[in-house]
Amino acid sequence: MTNYTVNEFLEQTKQSDHSEEKFGLERGRILIANLEDDKIWAKTGSMIAYHGDIKFEREGITEHGIGKLLKSKLTGEEMELMKAQGTGQAYFAEDGKKISIIDLKGESITVNSNDLLAFEDGLDWDVHSMKSIAGAVSGGLFNVKIEGEGMVAITTHYDPLTFKVSKDKPIYTDPDTTVAWSGNLNPDINTDVSFKTFIGRESGESIQMKFEGDGFVVVQPYEEIYYNSVGNQ
């Protein structure tokens, strides 16, 4: 156990200066957003602190259109967005999960709706349902495709691992550990019959996501089993 004086504790835990870019990281698990009379989008309930003149509002129908709002609502709490708008610094986190910032330069990325923390305003995005996996596993049903110019913050339990996908080397992943993949990939569902022989075993190991083509896929060393608000309560 480490004992600190008050001044030592303040020195050890003080915030860093991350005013250079729109998004920055504090200790790998806190996202810092620098706002200059503009806005970003973040998962509802993820704000932990802020300073300056910033307002936080839930996503409204007029923000992204009723179609996107209804689709994001279908994902349950995992995809409810709020707008942070104004001038100052806002801090976001989720369950102590590790945060990675991806700076898109005209590329696209698809993120599991449960693992999307925040993104810059101006990026194009839409919610997609993986109908081929619906009802087969608890996670991985809804995902968000984001593209354009700007930063995206995703979360993982522990350190993420990225696999390169190529035409001659498809990658198979457990849906409950799959976090994100390059936007040009469209995963299929692969069923491993041998795993079905384990009576009473319900796992993504018998139902896998198959990635083929040229791109990447991100996984985490944790089976993130969550229940969607539609049909899983």
3-state SS, the chain, equals CCCCCHHHHHHHHCCCCCCCCCEEEECCCEEEEEEEEEEEEEECCCEEEEEEEEEEEECCHHHHCHHHHHHHHHCHHHHCEEEEEEEEEEEECCCCCEEEEEEEEEEEEEEEHHHEEEEECCCEEEEEECCCCCCCCCCCCEEEEEEEEEEEEEEECCCCEEEEEECCECEEECCCCEEEEECCCCCEEEECHHHHHCCCCCCCCCEEEEECCCEEEEECCCCCCCCCCCCCC
Model pLDDT, residue 3? 85
pLDDT at 129: 79
How big is the CA angle at 153 (ends 147 and 155), to the nearest 5 degrees?
Answer: 125
Encode the chain (233 residues) as per-residue pLDDT tens digits. 678 878 988 888 888 877 778 999 999 999 999 999 999 999 999 999 999 999 999 876 556 554 555 555 555 545 689 999 999 999 999 999 999 999 999 999 999 989 999 999 999 999 887 765 544 454 446 899 999 999 999 999 999 999 999 999 999 999 889 999 999 999 988 876 565 555 444 554 678 899 999 999 999 999 987 544 433 33
- In degrees, rounded to 5, the angle at the alpha carbon of residue 104 between the alpha carbons of residues 99 and 109 is 75
CB 130 within 8 A of CB 186: no
- Put the strands of the sheet holding 188-191 in their side by side order: 171-173, 207-211, 188-191
pLDDT for the residue 64: 53
CA distance 142 to 9: 42
What is the pLDDT at residue 62?
52
Q: Report how far residue 198's alpha carbon sits from residue 213's, in angstroms, rounded to the nearest whole number.
A: 31
* The two structure tokens encoding residue 151: 């930063």
Q: Note the pLDDT of residue 61.
A: 55
State the pLDDT at residue 14: 87
What's the pLDDT at 204?
A: 47
Sign of the CA dihedral running 44, 79, 161, 226: positive
State residue 133's pLDDT score: 57
Residue 116: name the closest of 140, 144, 89, 95 by CA: 144
